[in-house]
Amino acid sequence: MKKVTKIISVSFLMLTMLLLSVGQVFAIKPPTTSTSFTDPVVTPLKESYTYTSSIVEVGYLKGAVQKENQSMAPVGRLDEQFGSNGLVIKDLSGKEKVKACFEFNRYNYKWAGNVFMWNGSKWVKQATTFTSDPAATTWACASGLGNGTYALIIYYWGPQEFPVAIATIEPA
């Protein structure tokens, strides 16, 4: 009887250890980080003005370089990044001008920025105004624009954020 009790106790102990080492794991899908942007909106300053506009994805903008964190920055300005897809405006004649608006929902969350124009060698700041529509979407707009390539370039002005250290516990 003593031998049977010992076998049952050892079997129970081994079964308990086996069940403790195998358990359910619940995996949570990581949040998707979307690099898609809302396309900029162009409106002529007069109804009779005609133009052609096309969207340029951030990765295809001239004067752009990819940073270590995978964001795209203007060449020589690694403390900034593109905040939207770019915009090419063409076929405007002489004095015809347009207004371009870029969605900027991070504005006022310690982010700032401006609309810039690519001049062939660098990005040149344009006079930029910020407005909100009834849906509480903030737009960065530049008016009086002619033919060219435009983009919203943004930067973070808040306090430096340090990565949080994650402690690991080694099993004994």
Distance CA 129, CA 140 (A): 6
pTM score > 0.85 for this model? no
The answer for residues whose C-beta is within 8 angstroms of residue 125's C-beta and 6 or more apart is 114, 115, 116
Tell me the CB-side half-sphere exposure of residue 115, using CA atoms within 13 A: 26
Reduce the secondary structure of 31-59 to three states and give it as a string.
CCCCCCCCCCEEEECCCCCCCEEEEECHH
Q: For the chain, which residues make up each domain, given as ranges?
A: 41-156
Give pLDDT tens digits along the chain (172 positions).
677 677 777 666 676 665 555 544 444 333 333 456 788 999 899 888 889 999 999 888 998 888 888 788 888 887 888 888 999 999 998 889 999 999 987 766 778 889 999 999 999 999 999 888 777 788 999 999 999 999 999 988 777 666 665 656 666 5
pLDDT at residue number 169: 64
d(CA 140, CA 24): 49
| pLDDT the model gives residue 29 | 37
pLDDT of residue 111: 83
SS3 content of the chain, % helix, strand, coil (to 5): 15, 35, 50
Give the pLDDT of residue 21. Answer: 56
d(C-alpha 59, C-alpha 128), whole Å: 23
**CATH classification code of 41-156:** 2.60.40
CA atoms within a 13 Å half-sphere pointing along the CA-CB vector of 12: 6
